[in-house]
Amino acid sequence: MFDSSPIPEIDVQQLAMRLAESSQSLQLIDVRERNEVTFAYIEGFEVFPLSEFEQWSEEILLRLNPEAETIVICHHGMRSAQLCQWLKMRGFNNVQNVMGGIDAYSRLVDPTIRRY
């Protein structure tokens, strides 16, 4: 059954505050391609490229805590929304998609992160 409830979102300013507070309690996932991560990266995010989903989908369910706050990012917010939906369907209760992705983060929070 497909869960049609909206994906909770976090804006990039909220993300910056959460990262400054305590990233230890956060599960941070970046679903961009590895070559994208070489251009722009936010420290602390684990890279799980969506194109490699078949390779890591079972592992991620074993490694991550479904009760922990999980924040997912991509370039603009579309791919990360897909993973958020998938995680929600597997019992992750506290998943948030980063609105605007790393592109918005580089524009509005940290201009040292390269845009592409």
Q: Label each residue of 2-71 as H, E or C.
A: CCCCCCCEECHHHHHHHHHHHHHHEEEEECCCHHHHHHCCCCCCEECCHHHHHHHHHHHHHHCCCCCEEE
Residue 62 tokens, joined? 């074993």
Residue 6 tokens, joined? 């909206």
Q: Is 84 a catalytic residue?
A: no
**Is the full-model pTM beyond 0.75?**
yes
The single residue listed with the structure tokens 């602390």 is 44
Return the CATH number at 35.
Answer: 3.40.250.10
pLDDT tens for 69-101 read: 999 999 999 999 999 999 999 999 999 999 999
How big is the chain by its Cα radius of gyration, in Å? 13
Query: Would residue 1 count as lying in a domain?
Result: no
Query: Would residue 104 count as lying in a domain?
Result: yes
What is the domain count for the chain? 1
pLDDT tens for 33-71 read: 999 999 999 999 999 999 999 999 999 999 999 999 999
Domain containing residue 91: 9-108
| Sign of torsion over alpha carbons 51, 45, 35, 12 | positive
Query: Would residue 22 count as lying in a domain?
Result: yes
Query: Would residue 85 count as lying in a domain?
Result: yes
Q: Which of 7, 40, 60, 74 is catalytic?
A: 74
Compute the distance between CA of residue 110 and CA of residue 91 in angstroms, rounded to an integer: 33
Half-sphere exposure of 11 (CA within 13 A, CB side): 4
State residue 95's pLDDT score.
97
State residue 23's pLDDT score.
62
What is the amino acid identity at position 28? L
State residue 22's pLDDT score.
73
Cα dist from 51 to 9, 47, 106, whole Å: 22, 11, 23
State residue 3's pLDDT score.
58
Query: Would residue 3 count as lying in a domain?
Result: no
